[in-house]
Amino acid sequence: MEAAQVQQNWRIHKGRLVTRPGFKLLGSGLPLSGAPVMGGSVFIDEALLARAMAITKTKLYRYDTGSSAWVEVTADVGVSLTGGATDWFEAVSWNNKYIFSQRVNTLKAYVSGAGTFGHLTADVNSPAAAHLEVFADRVVAGDTFEGGTRFPWRLRWPVSGNELDWTGIGSGSVDFVDTPGRITRLSRLAGKGIIYKSDSIITATR
């Protein structure tokens, strides 16, 4: 047992026994209130300014490079995050917005430079979603929660170029029910959209 504990800091790399790489905490103000952290990514706005974002179960934070501290982005009145300990967030950068969801609350958005975050849109057809990606000039949502019902195989998208309109011409959805698996990830590859299910992979073109 003692030998096993010593080995926890070692790994084999290119045929050599080396120490595991270390890490350090990023910024002050840790741990974040509302912890644990349930998601986060880099938000790139229209000016190509990149900033780190973190989301706990109930709060949104941005990393301020000037103060090297995590700063809470408060919610608009009437807006809240209510997910549990297994509801992980995904987020995308689109149209100068940091758009995020965890399939519990409908899509939320933080606009670059704003002091608060709120609902992405007042459109009641905007879904909650477990997976998000940007493809074909749209924010695409997978494994959605709509009208009180989960659709784990559904892909939904808004009007082209307008993430606020989920019912107009060009918006729509498709249910990939040819196999029973749920959508587990969305990505892009070589100009195509990739929909990963637990039992298949689907490609999409514009």
Task: Give the separation between CA 153 and CA 161, rounded to whole angstroms.
Answer: 24
**pTM, rounded to two decimals:** 0.87
Task: Give the separation between CA 42 and CA 200, rounded to whole angstroms.
Answer: 29
Q: Given the structure tokens 């047992």, which residue do they identify?
A: 1
Peptide bond into 180 cis (omega under 30): no
Q: Which amino acid is at 49?
A: L
User: Are 36 and 85 within 8 A, CB to CB?
Assistant: yes
pLDDT at 19: 79
* pLDDT, tens only, 39-87: 999 999 888 989 999 999 999 999 999 999 999 999 999 999 999 999 9
Contacts of residue 204, Cβ cutoff 8 Å, sequence gap at least 6? 135, 192, 193, 194, 195
pLDDT at 3: 47
Identify the band that residue 6 occupies on the pLDDT scale cut at 50, 70 and 90: low
Residue 27 token pair: 């910024």
Q: Which amino acid is at 166?
A: W
Helices (H) and strands (E) in the chain, counts: 1, 17
* pLDDT, tens only, 104-158: 999 999 999 898 999 999 887 889 999 999 999 999 999 999 999 999 999 999 9
Task: Give the separation between CA 128 and CA 104, rounded to whole angstroms.
Answer: 6
